Amino acid sequence: MSILRPMDMTSKQLKLSALDQSPIRSGGSAAETLRETIALAQACETAGYHRYWLAEHHASHSLAGPAPEILIGHVAAATKTIRVGSGGVMLSHYSPLKVAENFAVLETLHPGRIDLGIGRAPGSDQLTAMALAYGSQIGIEYFPTRVADLMGFLGTGEPPTEIFKRIKISPKPDNPPEMWLLGSSDQSALLAAQLGLGFSFAQFITPEGGEYVLDAYRQRFQPSEFYPAPETNICTFVICAETQAEAERLLKSRELSLLRREKGEFGPYPSIEEALAYPYTEQDRAIIARSHRRGIFGDPQTCKAKLIELANKYRVDELVILTITHDPVARRRSYELLADAFQLVG
């Protein structure tokens, strides 16, 4: 493994993007969450964000985004210039042909604005994953072939699966959507390098060691019709508020949410009041302290400095920001404050 040389990235050179997991807040509903997704995407476009990615999770009481391809269409129709895509489609559940057709339609309707981010994780529990793959005998070991077939359907080449080579999708957009592999380990990174796709590293899941994963991706990258050179970004969790104290107050909800997930408890995103009233044990507080490595929180200048430091460490020029707060107004304000700090142009 080579020794990384940090970049000297400045705020002017950095692109900021957004990842929306469509969180359901305590006291709210999934329907409200989807409306909040549209409003947040519009706010991010106005603020100057580069792209807006929508996550995929199934049978969840916490997250309301099982069908990113549907949300992408609504968000793209409700905005004008921001790139919109999946962060990501869990391809292990689906037919590559059907995913190709979905995103070909989206790209045809919104040319030059659609991203197809692909994930390997199930985005669900085992039983739900079985239901999603109803009737299919194809296991996760075929994931690389699924990705290659998907590239064949959307690109100018042919799917590697021999029997599919006669299939031509319609509509076929003039240019395919941008294709990314998403991951938090070297497995997806090396596959992205082998196939010549962009790679997005989930730093908010794996807070340490990702710079070496990205370095391995860059070293092993093989050019493709989709990307002539390596393309990377990282996704990180951020809560930005007017003051450090307010950011720490908003963080209480995330602390309790992560603690509950650690204990196998999956429910709506808790309010600050719920978090403050929770009877934490010493072990709980230790878990919470460790969770702080998985995010950035503070006032605008603090967040800006830490994000620039992160971009230099990982040698990327794009940061995908994941922000969740119980109050949708505070969530939107967090994105706006970051945009102002980085002087994004809407």
pLDDT tens readout for residues 184-230: 999 999 999 999 999 999 999 999 999 999 999 999 999 999 999 99
**pLDDT for position 115:** 98
Contact 307, 299 (CB under 8 A): no
**Whole-angstrom Cα distance, residue 325 to residue 198?**
29
Q: Is the pLDDT of residue 1 over 50?
A: no
The per-residue pLDDT for range 120-170, each reduced to its tens digit, is 876 557 777 777 776 566 666 789 999 999 999 999 988 888 889 899 999
On the question of pLDDT at 2 being above 50, the answer is no
Place of tokens 């690109």: 155
Residue 36 main-chain phi, psi, to 5 deg: -65, -30
In angstroms, rounded to a whole number, what is the distance separating the alpha carbons of residues 206 and 200? 12
pLDDT at position 130 is: 72
Phi, psi of 158 (to 5 degrees): -125, 150
CATH, domain 15-341, list 2.60.40.10, 3.20.20.30, 3.40.50.300, 1.10.357.10: 3.20.20.30
For residue 36, give every residue at least 6 positions away whose Cβ sits within 8 Å of its Cβ, in sequence order, or none. 328
Kindly state the average pLDDT of the residues 31-46: 98
Structure tokens at 236: 């990180």
pTM of the model: 0.93
Reported as a pLDDT band with limits 50, 70 and 90, residue 6 is low
Distance CA 286, CA 181 (A): 33
Tokens of 171: 């509509």
Q: Which two tokens stand for residue 120?
A: 């390997």
Could you write out the three-class secondary structure of the chain?
CCCCCCCCCCCCCCEEEEEECCECECCCCHHHHHHHHHHHHHHHHHHCCCEEEECCCCCCCCECCCCHHHHHHHHHHHCCCCEEEECCEEHHHCCHHHHHHHHHHHHHHCCCCEEEEEECCCCCCHHHHHHHCCCCCCCHHHHHHHHHHHHHHHCCCCCCCHHHCCCCCCCCCCCCCEEEEEECCHHHHHHHHHHCCEEEEECCCCCCCHHHHHHHHHHHCCCCCCCCCCCEEEEEEEEECCCHHHHHHHHHHHHHHHHHHHCCCCCCECCHHHHHHCCCCHHHHHHHHHHHHHCEEECHHHHHHHHHHHHHHHCCCEEEEECCCCCHHHHHHHHHHHHHHCCCCC
CB burial of residue 345 (10 Å; 0-12, 13-18, 19+): exposed
Q: What is the pLDDT of residues 252-297, one digit of tens each?
A: 999 999 999 999 898 999 999 999 999 999 999 999 999 888 899 9
Residues 8 and 4: their CA atoms lie apart, in Å, by: 13
Which residues, in sequence order, are CB contacts of 58 under 8 Å at separation 6+? 66, 123, 124, 128, 129, 132
Q: What confidence score (pLDDT) does residue 149 get?
A: 94
What residue type is assigned to position 196 of the chain?
Answer: G
Higher pLDDT residue, 14 or 137? 14
Ranges of each domain in the chain: 15-341
Q: Are 144 and 208 in contact (CB under 8 A)?
A: no
Among residues 75, 7, 84, which one has the least CA distance to residue 42? 75
Asked if residues 195 and 124 have their Cβ atoms less than 8 Å apart, the reply is: no
For the record, the structure tokens of 233 come out as 């970004």
